[in-house]
């Protein structure tokens, strides 16, 4: 696109700022209505999904360097025919892990410094790791969802100041997850020092994408074995579903790996006839196998696939049908 004009006032981005939040500030400073209006001028579209390859155009328009823009978060980039989103230098690979339609916020961070933090766009980041308060996604006055079309990070379009927070006790596991995510992206030791244990250390060593996939697989895919419906895996969980998911995942991780064996054994015997066939066994486990192979294939997540396969092998052997010689059994053996 031929960009004929540039903004007058240049702003400095923050290292932990979201790209669209930065553009909200640039738009306001330069008397444009909103970030979507700025995007429309430069890219021809108001969508909050901004492709990584458009950075040069945006940087030019905003009078920033390409380097300054590249440190911002939330850009979408495609490779291997899949979209990826960058958050503080790490790439996320599942759209359920990202909230880019909503503009959530920690009221206390906004009060300290009014800009949109990159972390707030992670779906599994529900509490501010530093202030331990819930992120808000609605205006406390007009109750509309916080949108990217507002003109300032710290004010709703109804003029309500967003930097005041209500006291809501955090859900401990959700707060812990938020702290681990924030630690991973900022290396702020103080976030996990007080609750350091083996589990926290293991989780903190995972990439954010790997951590989200672990929670998703253990808290969502495994407990719902045999109950998948169409669209499963694409829907972002609501607060209650998320809380349950986290509880299940942490329960598995706290008693790792024995509890994985127990839940697999229980679900398989619940879902299948006592004399289950290799076909039924394979069919039931197909969604889990698929998720493991397609999404948990990185070395950092090998600990999950390894234990999963070991337990399935044990369950299969215990079922006593190891000499049936069926082609499905051979297939299962090979896959284990
Ligand atoms: Zn905060
Ligand atoms: Zn409002």
Q: How far is the CA of 86 from the centre of ligand 1 (A)?
A: 21
Segment 264-293 shows an average pLDDT of 90
**Residue 71 is encoded by which pair of tokens?**
């440190």
Q: What is the pLDDT of residue 325?
A: 45
Are 221 and 300 in the same domain?
A: yes
Ligand nearest to the Cα of 115, by number: 1
Phi/psi at 127 (5° precision): -125, 150
Chosen domain end from 188, 207, 237 = 188
Q: How far is the CA of 133 from the centre of ligand 1 (A)?
A: 7
Examine the pLDDT at 44 and tell me if it is beyond 80: yes
Q: How far is the CA of 115 from the centre of ligand 2 (A)?
A: 17
Q: What is the pLDDT of residue 1?
A: 47
Q: How far is the CA of 138 from the centre of ligand 2 (A)?
A: 8
Looking at the 3D structure of the chain, how many domains does it have? 2
Are 221 and 306 in the same domain?
A: yes
Q: How far is the CA of 156 from the centre of ligand 2 (A)?
A: 5
Q: How far apart are CA 38 and CA 61, in angstroms?
A: 9
What domain range includes position 323?
197-335
Unique residue bearing structure tokens 């500030």: 25
Examine the pLDDT at 230 and tell me if it is beyond 80: no
Q: How far is the CA of 182 from the centre of ligand 1 (A)?
A: 11
Are 143 and 240 in the same domain?
A: no
**Residues, Cβ < 5 Å to ion ligand 2:** 139, 141-142, 156, 158, 160
Segment 207-225 shows an average pLDDT of 94
Residues above pLDDT 90, as percent of the chain: 74
What is the residue-averaged pLDDT of the chain? 90
Segment 226-234 shows an average pLDDT of 64
Are 151 and 118 in the same domain?
A: yes
pLDDT one-digit tens code per residue, 138-181: 999 999 999 899 999 999 999 999 998 777 788 899 999 999 99
Examine the pLDDT at 232 and tell me if it is beyond 60: no
Chosen domain end from 141, 162, 188 = 188
Are 139 and 205 in the same domain?
A: no
Are 128 and 220 in the same domain?
A: no
Which pTM value belongs to this model? 0.88
Q: What is the pLDDT of residue 275?
A: 84
Peptide bond into 70 cis (omega under 30): no
Q: How far apart are CA 223 and CA 116, in angstroms?
A: 35
Q: How far is the CA of 107 from the centre of ligand 1 (A)?
A: 7
DSSP state at residue 169: P
Pair 185, 208: CB distance under 8 Å: yes
Q: How far is the CA of 192 from the centre of ligand 1 (A)?
A: 16
Alpha carbon of residue 269 to chain centroid = 32
Q: What is the pLDDT of residue 135?
A: 94
Q: How far apart are CA 41 and CA 38, in angstroms?
A: 5
Residues above pLDDT 70, as percent of the chain: 91
**Residue 93 is encoded by which pair of tokens?**
């690979």
């Amino acid at each position: 696109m031929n960009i004929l004009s540039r903004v007058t006032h240049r702003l400095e981005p923050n290292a932990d700022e979201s790209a669209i939040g930065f553009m909200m500030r640039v738009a306001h400073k330069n008397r444009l209505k909103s970030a979507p209006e700025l995007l429309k001028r430069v890219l021809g579209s108001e969508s909050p999904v901004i492709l990584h390859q458009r950075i040069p155009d945006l940087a030019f328009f905003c009078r920033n360097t390409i380097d300054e823009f590249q440190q911002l978060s939330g850009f979408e980039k495609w490779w291997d025919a899949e979209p990826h989103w960058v958050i503080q230098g790490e790439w996320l690979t599942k759209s359920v892990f990202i909230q880019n339609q909503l503009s959530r916020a920690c009221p206390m961070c906004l009060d300290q410094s009014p800009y949109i933090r990159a972390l707030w766009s992670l779906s599994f980041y529900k509490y501010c790791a530093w202030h331990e308060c819930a992120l808000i996604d609605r205006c406390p006055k007009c109750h509309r969802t916080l949108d990217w079309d507002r003109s300032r990070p710290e004010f709703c379009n109804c003029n309500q100041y967003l930097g005041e927070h209500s006291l809501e006790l955090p859900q401990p596991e959700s707060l812990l997850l938020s702290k681990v995510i924030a630690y991973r992206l900022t290396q702020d030791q103080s976030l996990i020092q007080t609750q350091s244990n083996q589990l926290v250390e293991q989780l903190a060593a995972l990439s954010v994408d790997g951590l989200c996939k672990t929670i998703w697989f253990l808290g969502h895919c495994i407990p719902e074995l045999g109950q998948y419906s169409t669209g499963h895996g694409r829907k972002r969980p609501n607060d209650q579903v998320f809380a349950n998911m986290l509880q299940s995942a942490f329960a598995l991780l706290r008693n790792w790996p024995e509890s994985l064996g127990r839940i697999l054994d229980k679900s398989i015997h619940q879902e299948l006839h006592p004399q289950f066939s290799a076909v039924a066994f394979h069919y039931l486990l197909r969604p889990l196998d698929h998720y493991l192979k397609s999404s948990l294939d990185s070395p950092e997540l090998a600990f999950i696939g390894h234990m999963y396969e070991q337990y399935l092998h044990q369950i299969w052997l215990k079922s006593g049908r190891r000499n049936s010689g069926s082609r499905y059994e051979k297939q299962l053996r090979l896959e284990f």
